[in-house]
Amino acid sequence: MALPELPFLPEFPSLVDHHCHGVARRDLDPEAFESYLTESDVPAAPGTTFFDSQLGFAVRRWCPEPLGLEPHCPPERYLARRRELGWEESTRRLLRASGIARFLVDTGPAADLTPRQKLETLAGAPARDIVRLEQLAERTADTSPSARDLLADLGDAIEAATTTAAGFKSVAAYRYGLDLPPGPPHPRDVHEAAERWLAERGSTDRARRVSDPVLLSHLMWSAAETGLPLQVHTGFGDPDLRLHRCDPLLLTDFLHEVRSTGCSVILLHGYPYHRSAAYLAHVFPHVYADVGLALGYTGARAVAVLAEMLELAPFGKVLFSTDAIGLPELYLVGARVFRDALARLLSGWVEQDAWSPEDAGRVARLICADTARRVYGLHAG
Amino acid sequence: MALPELPFLPEFPSLVDHHCHGVARRDLDPEAFESYLTESDVPAAPGTTFFDSQLGFAVRRWCPEPLGLEPHCPPERYLARRRELGWEESTRRLLRASGIARFLVDTGPAADLTPRQKLETLAGAPARDIVRLEQLAERTADTSPSARDLLADLGDAIEAATTTAAGFKSVAAYRYGLDLPPGPPHPRDVHEAAERWLAERGSTDRARRVSDPVLLSHLMWSAAETGLPLQVHTGFGDPDLRLHRCDPLLLTDFLHEVRSTGCSVILLHGYPYHRSAAYLAHVFPHVYADVGLALGYTGARAVAVLAEMLELAPFGKVLFSTDAIGLPELYLVGARVFRDALARLLSGWVEQDAWSPEDAGRVARLICADTARRVYGLHAG
Amino acid sequence: MALPELPFLPEFPSLVDHHCHGVARRDLDPEAFESYLTESDVPAAPGTTFFDSQLGFAVRRWCPEPLGLEPHCPPERYLARRRELGWEESTRRLLRASGIARFLVDTGPAADLTPRQKLETLAGAPARDIVRLEQLAERTADTSPSARDLLADLGDAIEAATTTAAGFKSVAAYRYGLDLPPGPPHPRDVHEAAERWLAERGSTDRARRVSDPVLLSHLMWSAAETGLPLQVHTGFGDPDLRLHRCDPLLLTDFLHEVRSTGCSVILLHGYPYHRSAAYLAHVFPHVYADVGLALGYTGARAVAVLAEMLELAPFGKVLFSTDAIGLPELYLVGARVFRDALARLLSGWVEQDAWSPEDAGRVARLICADTARRVYGLHAG
């Protein structure tokens, strides 16, 4: 059965992916490939494979065709063909089949991923950076002799980032949880926390990472005060996080207080608390939400997840993203699964006469691209 | 496509709306109208409108026809026609198209809303009062010189209310959260809390409101002891509340303890915790639930929300309400969206042979009206 | 409309029910029968009946036929026919209509229920025991003169159980909640807790039960260290539990720590937190999940609940169970509702071309039986 399109639009709007990462810049062996199909940080249970998941099935549904294979072909055949073409050609084909016309790229976990410029070349589409706050702090700490220097340099780095970046991103959910102190922390507390962090940093790899709630809050407030949009990871992710401490509702007091800065806050993913994210986008004018990561990961069920987001979220407050990382497959899957889900939902509501076709077309354009363009100040195209 | 009706019933049962408010008794400018389409307390984000939401689309789906317009007509045209007819004629038409045969009206936020009698005239249907406990306490405090007087007068006022009211309502969720002390508070603690409240009341508008957990609990217990049904707001509402502190499960210990009073407790709304409300209605004989507010607000998705409520909730424990306030549109939308959702669900289950047509008809009558009549002791008709 | 089957499999796989209880070994009067249709521990509210629920309707949909009656027949007629046949013949017919080829039986609440061997005879299918840890501790305490003896005897009993049992089960959710200390408790703390428990045991019936968090954690760790699979009740159940303290996410730290034992942990039920259970099965290789209890209880909605589980849960991590207790009807309903839900979901995804028919058939076999066989080390057949 063919993908339902939007009968009320001449063509599906091209997409702005407001949150993604780079792709691996090498050929991947099967284990490495599979490791990108899960949020787990260890191999699959004996007797199981991460290909046996909604995400794995969605990859096998959508990705073989651009590589010249039949949909649903076995993983081994798919991986063999991918190696045959090489990672660059495979990536080019997959990205260009996605219908994504513009990318905002998290600068975070970049060691073996393509830098932004390479992604642009492969995809044939422009990209802008989203600066990951915690990484910025960690890089700054690497060269700061004292807490005073660290905080001054960090302030400069955030300020400098505003000249090129489209926004900031916080992964406080992974580092501590979203039950952070809501208000802007007192400078004295920030200074003390920075001193503690610098003193402990040498001890372990984990200690290198910023995880103090006061520092995490300081980063979010520093970013908010620039006025650029602030993305916040909420909901599910790898086992580093404690999911029940990533409910976006834990940000409610922060959202109340940060409104005065004029900063837009975009709640990412949210699953399984995406209805709560939608509620926050409903009651706060400066709050937006997506279900990025959750769509590819839930595959054939993405339609249900997107539908839940579209209960309370005002239609001008919902964005599209893939949160793709490592595999170009995740861009294509994120985009196709989203298109399929959106088309099914809107067509169904039009068919029931709950929505008019004109409204459905307008909402599709908002979610696919127009709202992201407005929030991040992107030029059309 | 026409609204699915109930093929197994000669006609759709008329509705008892067991929880609503009055309508604005004046012509509304576009800004005022739009402010009733959201739980946000500030205008929509720049570049967006509250009309672009499931509720906004549902208003445009169901409300133009009674005013002589085409479904889905643009907001401007709808508002112009509404002004042309005037608020009274528009209200009369919208209320009478709703199929609601009886109203229970929260006496709470009444300043610029129609009193109960006016609603009855406009709708051509009888109404009874539901007394909002916090408002009763605040009015009583306005004229009480001491904590002792306040508590005595409050007891008298609650007692007096039972002669005319159909039930009580608590908005403790807004004022504090549902993580209240579960048992009946000790009179000494109530007295001290009343003294503190009276002493602080002069300071700010917010201090005028009762928000002390001991006092809120005292109100709920005082109401429960009258034996009248007690409605409790749970789940989503305006940004005054902290949604994660409005999960009805936080009432579990209270529900255990209050059972001995013989009082029925009706958990309102619940969204996105309506499955938890349904669970409580399942395990406690004295607990009931509705998804009032959530149906109009989720519009085309109300069918999914109602379905989730009908998983664990016994069918004799679910009630209908609109929670309409300010706009007569919200009565009509609440009623039509509910009818549509119920008809789709029950028809689908009958079609799959999961339910018999006779059972489906019986359950429809229970939810639409019969259970509310039984719980509130209303006469038929 | 006939039950949808799996067009991509020659026949529906026979089922392994990895979590159930015995059936009542006597004829039941209507009140006793109805008491098994609910997790409530008291009679239905006046004017209502537990038959008016998804579970009640599912019993009336699936169970009359094996007793020679029409589907959806009235409860009275059904109960009369059941009495006419007698409990043994009714049980035989209902169990054998379920398609369950193998049972794992919780040894817990057995006073008036069939022992495992009787269940095997009635069902004509083999069964193995799952040892309920709290009951083992309570029986051991009945004959232990001191904490030292209790702990030594308990260790021996757990060790002895491994020779015949297929796994262990914890109901810590009912006794305390899942917010237990995550790591293995210190022997000194366990000893002190055992002393306190023995000292208090005589006082009340409730005190006889093990409810100390340190002891509950000790039981779970003792079982885990045997390497047998450990079932943990999560999510909804009777009003003894506080549902918000049964979110499986509260086990996250325990799951992190227990991984080193090599024990598989199976999260039971989970509803309404089954998406969280699926997340844990996604990120932890040793974690599995079912939605056992929730399927029969949600009846016509089981398809939605199972679908939510199949969003994040890897397909090789999901198991089938009925959690049937007391009524043989609950086995049949659990099995038929599950089959119906699985068939609808998989057929729908194949029809949309989201899944291939081969994948759908393979996943059906995994969930119905193969994964349970692998995890519990059961021989095929």
CA of C260 to nearest chain B CA: how many angstroms apart?
34
Taking one residue from A and the other from C, the number of pairs with CB-CB distance under 8 angstroms is 100
With H, G, I as helix, E, B as strand and everything else as coil, classify residue A246: coil
| Residue C316 touches partner A, C-beta closer than 8 Å | yes
| pLDDT of residue C321 exceeding 60 | yes
> Mean pLDDT score of chain A, rounded to an integer?
94
The pLDDT value given to residue B362? 96
CA of C183 to nearest chain A CA: how many angstroms apart?
16
**Calculated CA dihedral for residues C260, C262, C268, C271, nearest 10 degrees:** 40
Read off the pLDDT of residues A84-118 as tens digits, 9 standing for 90 and up. 999 999 999 999 999 999 999 998 877 789 999 99
| pLDDT of residue A4 exceeding 80 | no
Contacting partners of chain A (3+ CB pairs under 8 A): B, C
C311 contacts in chain A (CB < 8 Å): 54, 297-298, 301, 304-305
Find all residues with CB under 8 Å of C126, minimum gap 6, and list them: C102, C103, C120
Given an 8 Å threshold on Cβ–Cβ distance, is B279 in contact with C272?
yes
* Cβ(C302)–Cβ(C340) below 8 Å: yes
| Residue A380 touches partner C, C-beta closer than 8 Å | no
| pLDDT of residue A18 exceeding 50 | yes
Contacting partners of chain B (3+ CB pairs under 8 A): A, C
Task: Indicate the pLDDT class of residue C380, thresholds 50, 70 and 90.
Answer: low
Task: Indicate the pLDDT class of residue C64, thresholds 50, 70 and 90.
Answer: very high
CA of B204 to nearest chain C CA: how many angstroms apart?
36
Measured CA to CA, the distance from residue A379 to residue C78 in angstroms comes to 69
The stretch B198-225 carries a mean pLDDT of 92
Read off the pLDDT of residues B148-189 as tens digits, 9 standing for 90 and up. 999 999 999 999 999 999 999 999 999 999 999 999 999 999
More confidently predicted of C89 and C204: C89
> Mean pLDDT score of chain C, rounded to an integer?
94
| Predicted TM-score (pTM) of this structure | 0.97
Lowest mean pLDDT: which of A39-43, A336-340, C343-347? A39-43
The stretch C139-145 carries a mean pLDDT of 94
| Residue A227 touches partner B, C-beta closer than 8 Å | no
Where are the alpha helices (H) located in C272-356, listed in sequence order? 274-283, 292-298, 302-312, 328-351
Bond prior to B13 in cis (omega within 30° of 0): no
Read off the pLDDT of residues B292-350 as tens digits, 9 standing for 90 and up. 888 999 999 999 999 999 999 999 999 999 999 999 999 999 999 999 999 999 999 99
The pLDDT value given to residue B358? 96
Measured CA to CA, the distance from residue C379 to residue C381 in angstroms comes to 7
| pLDDT of residue A152 exceeding 60 | yes
> Could you give the C-alpha distances from A229 to A25, A127, A159, A377, C156, in angstroms and in order?
29, 16, 14, 10, 61
Task: Indicate the pLDDT class of residue A380, thresholds 50, 70 and 90.
Answer: low
Closest residue in B to C304 (Cα–Cα): B308
What angle do helix axes C302-312 and A54-62 make, rounded to 10 degrees? Answer: 80
Find all residues with CB under 8 Å of B294, minimum gap 6, and list them: B235, B236, B269, B270, B271, B274, B302, B305
The residue among C3, C39, C40, C51 with the most chain B CBs within 10 A of its CB, best to mutate, is: C40
Given an 8 Å threshold on Cβ–Cβ distance, is A238 in contact with C283?
yes
B4 contacts in chain A (CB < 8 Å): none
Strands, E, within chain B: which ranges?
15-20, 100-106, 127-132, 167-170, 230-234, 265-269, 287-290, 318-319
The pLDDT value given to residue A114? 93
Task: Indicate the pLDDT class of residue B381, thresholds 50, 70 and 90.
Answer: very low
C351 contacts in chain A (CB < 8 Å): 1
3-class SS shares of chain B: helix, strand, coil, % to 5: 55, 10, 35
**Residues A126, A131, A132, A135: is their CA dihedral positive or negative?**
positive
Read off the pLDDT of residues A275-311 as tens digits, 9 standing for 90 and up. 999 999 999 999 999 988 889 999 999 999 999 999 9
The pLDDT value given to residue A46? 86
* Cβ(A182)–Cβ(A257) below 8 Å: yes
Task: Indicate the pLDDT class of residue A3, thresholds 50, 70 and 90.
Answer: low
| Residue A44 touches partner C, C-beta closer than 8 Å | yes
CA of A364 to nearest chain B CA: how many angstroms apart?
12
More confidently predicted of B99 and C8: B99
B310 contacts in chain C (CB < 8 Å): 54, 301
Given an 8 Å threshold on Cβ–Cβ distance, is C48 in contact with B247?
no
User: Which residue of C283, C358, C366 is in closest CB contact with A39?
Assistant: C283
The pLDDT value given to residue C1? 42
The pLDDT value given to residue C14? 93
Query: Strand pairing of C265-269 and A318-319?
Result: unpaired
Query: Strand pairing of B15-20 and B287-290?
Result: unpaired
With H, G, I as helix, E, B as strand and everything else as coil, classify residue B359: helix
The pLDDT value given to residue A205? 78
The pLDDT value given to residue A6? 86
The pLDDT value given to residue A112? 87
Contacting partners of chain C (3+ CB pairs under 8 A): A, B
| pLDDT of residue A1 exceeding 50 | no
| Residue A38 touches partner C, C-beta closer than 8 Å | yes
A39 contacts in chain C (CB < 8 Å): 282-283
| pLDDT of residue A56 exceeding 60 | yes
Read off the pLDDT of residues A232-283 as tens digits, 9 standing for 90 and up. 999 999 888 999 999 999 999 999 999 999 999 999 999 999 999 999 999 9
| Residue B310 touches partner C, C-beta closer than 8 Å | yes
End-to-end CA distance of chain B: give it in Å, rounded: 31
The residue among B279, B347, B374, B378 with the most chain C CBs within 10 A of its CB, best to mutate, is: B279
| pLDDT of residue B51 exceeding 70 | yes
| pLDDT of residue C3 exceeding 60 | no
The residue among B250, B356, B374, B376 with the most chain C CBs within 10 A of its CB, best to mutate, is: B356
Given an 8 Å threshold on Cβ–Cβ distance, is A300 in contact with C366?
no
Find all residues with CB under 8 Å of B221, minimum gap 6, and list them: B184, B185, B258, B261
User: Which residue of C276, C316, C352 is in closest CB contact with A48?
Assistant: C316
Closest residue in B to C45 (Cα–Cα): B285
Measured CA to CA, the distance from residue A24 to residue A325 in angstroms comes to 8
* Look-up of token digits 């199909």: A37
Task: Indicate the pLDDT class of residue A381, thresholds 50, 70 and 90.
Answer: very low
C72 contacts in chain B (CB < 8 Å): 355-356, 358-359
Strands, E, within C161-261: which ranges?
167-170, 230-234
B250 contacts in chain C (CB < 8 Å): 244
Q: Which two tokens stand for residue A46?
A: 């004996």
* Cβ(A15)–Cβ(A290) below 8 Å: no
Q: Work out the percent of chain A whose per-residue pLDDT is above 90.
A: 88
User: Which residue of C38, C58, C60 is in closest CB contact with B282?
Assistant: C38
More confidently predicted of B125 and B8: B125
The pLDDT value given to residue C381? 45
| Residue A298 touches partner C, C-beta closer than 8 Å | yes
Query: Largest alpha-carbon pair distance within chain A?
Result: 65
| pLDDT of residue C2 exceeding 60 | no
Task: Indicate the pLDDT class of residue B3, thresholds 50, 70 and 90.
Answer: low
| pLDDT of residue B45 exceeding 80 | yes
> Mean pLDDT score of chain B, rounded to an integer?
94
Task: Indicate the pLDDT class of residue B1, thresholds 50, 70 and 90.
Answer: very low
The residue among B42, B49, B52 with the most chain A CBs within 10 A of its CB, best to mutate, is: B52
Read off the pLDDT of residues C165-178 as tens digits, 9 standing for 90 and up. 999 999 999 999 99
